[in-house]
Amino acid sequence: MAQLPLQAVLFDMDGTLVDTERLWWEAVEEVAGRPLTEADRPEVLGRPVEHTAHWLAATTGRPAPGLAEALHREFADRVRADIVPRPGALALLDALAREGVPTALVTASPRAVADTVLDALGASRFAVTVTADDTEHTKPAPDPYLAACHALGVDPAACVAVEDTETGVTSAEAAGCTVLAVPSLAPIGTAPGRTVVPGLEGVTPGRLRSLLPHRLRVMSWNLWYGGTKVRDHRAKQLKVLTETDVDVVGLQETCGTAAEELAEALGWYHHRAGENLGIISRHPITAALGDPDVGFYGAAGVRIAAGSAGEVDVWTAHLDCAPYGPYESAFDGLAADTLVAHEGARLARLRDALRRIGPGPGVPVVLVGDFNSPSHLDRADVGWPVTRAAEEAGFADSYREAHPDPVREPGHTWSPVHAEHEDGSGRPEPQDRIDFVLHRGLRVLDSRTLVSGSPRPWPDVEDNDWPSDHAAVITTFAITASESTGNPVGGGA
């Protein structure tokens, strides 16, 4: 499984690169006129000056602006007189520079304080500096880290943020960064995508690279009678799979043999379930899940061994095609409550799949498929129950995570070849998002729909480059060893 490349390292300043947490603590004590206690930590460490000033104002009755000015002054004086780089900080910065890895300084301190520290560290060590003055919201909001990534032109998922406080860790993780935590005055707990070490001594660029998640790219694809409506369909399917660099594909309408034939041509692993469903994977399949003799409609799954990242379960589902809600809505004018009532067969089929998958937690799960139903996330006028049931079972819709606005990015998968209804009436075919990549326990890096070429409409489809009547959905997940806790199991599929 491919590991994301290290595109940049983003450093907090106070307490991470320089030993200023103690200086800040002393400055707050001086302005507060009393010793600080453990109970004061959440209002002091990792917080911008303005936050701490307002907190002090509430307890002392003094005006916040004056307190902020006093805090700035006291802290800056201490920094000029007593700044000390943390052990290993400069060595790591120099090593990253030698390897050409860009770095950014991301701090909740104001620009004036950051500039004072940069004078001591060397401003040229950083390609970008983001301070409390540069974003509308500072830590723990993700804005500072997102701003740094935007300025560097890098993907947050391919960056490591180095932080020393829970507030900073929250900010970096909300932005989508992997975190190396080096606690200074307060402990930081471990979590998926987060590594805690006592200090920066001995930390190398190679160690930072090793922290980044692996990439798992999953596709859902209805092959449309195995692709047989299109000339040279198998070669065209293989071209799509090769060019998209996917890792696992959940297939529907396989006509029995498509999964095996595609996997054989690619040198991949495969699992066939019944005459309609299949899963192919570049990673070993260690177990078959669900009913291997499932009917034309239903669901089946596999467990894949994702290398050092552990295991992931992948399920593919094909739900009943009739009655089809978008037709009943567009052509028959049925009311929302009637449309919902007519989803009973699909809903029962999905609930059976969810029962077989189980409630978790444990191994992360991806559920893909042609649901033959719109999503409740896309159309506020109808509470489509099939996708809602998946959500209630803990599954998130990866496409809507990546593209939350259904108006701007509808993500239609039905249908690239049906602009008009195929009954010859000339009525426009309802366009909807009915194919999904859902997940439980993973992090979405990207999700998109795919149609290659410019498909000609039905019935003149035999020379299309795209060998299906559905768009595919491809989601790229970040997966780390701590997110996938299962041990490989024996058996093939």
Query: Which residues participate in catalysis according to the annotation?
Result: 12
Under a CB-based contact definition with an 8 Å cutoff, are residues 246 and 262 in contact? no
Show the DSSP H helices in 83-165 as ranges. Answer: 89-98, 111-121, 143-152
Q: Spell out the residues 6+ positions from residue 295 whose beta carbon is closer than 8 angstroms to its own.
A: 274, 276
Q: Report the length, in residues, of the chain.
A: 493
CB 457 within 8 A of CB 381: no
Can you read off the two tokens belonging to residue 61?
A: 């009755």
Residues 378-402 as b or e (16 or more Cβ within 10 Å = b): bbeebebbbbbbbeebbbbbbbbeb
Show Cβ contacts of residue 294 under 8 Å, excluding neighbours closer than 6 positions. Answer: 273, 274, 276, 277, 300
Pick the closest to residue 430 from 318, 340, 329, 315 (CA basis). 329
Contact 108, 20 (CB under 8 A): no
What's the sign of the alpha-carbon dihedral 125, 127, 133, 138?
A: negative
* Tokens linked to 385: 């129950």
Give the DSSP H or E segment for 44: helix 41-44
| Residues in a beta bridge with 439 | 366, 396
* Closest to 372 in 3D by CA, of 322, 303, 307: 322
- The closest of 233, 239, 353, 214 to 291, measured between CA atoms, is 353
CB 118 within 8 A of CB 11: no
Q: Give the residue among 391, 359, 355, 360 at the shortest CA–CA distance from 375.
A: 391
Looking only at the bridges linking them, the beta strands covering 214-222 and 248-252 are parallel
Separation between Cα atoms, residue 344 and residue 335, nearest integer Å: 16
Q: Is 440 helix (H, G, I), strand (E, B) or coil?
A: strand
Helix (H, G, I), strand (E, B), or coil: what is residue 193? coil
Q: Distance between CA atoms of 109 and 75, rounded to whole angstroms? A: 10
Rounded Cα distance, 252 and 280, in Å: 11
d(CA 366, CA 399): 13
* CB-side neighbour CA atoms (13 Å) of 383: 5
Let me know: does 219 contact 252? Beta carbons within 8 Å. no
Beta strand 365-370 with 311-318 is: parallel
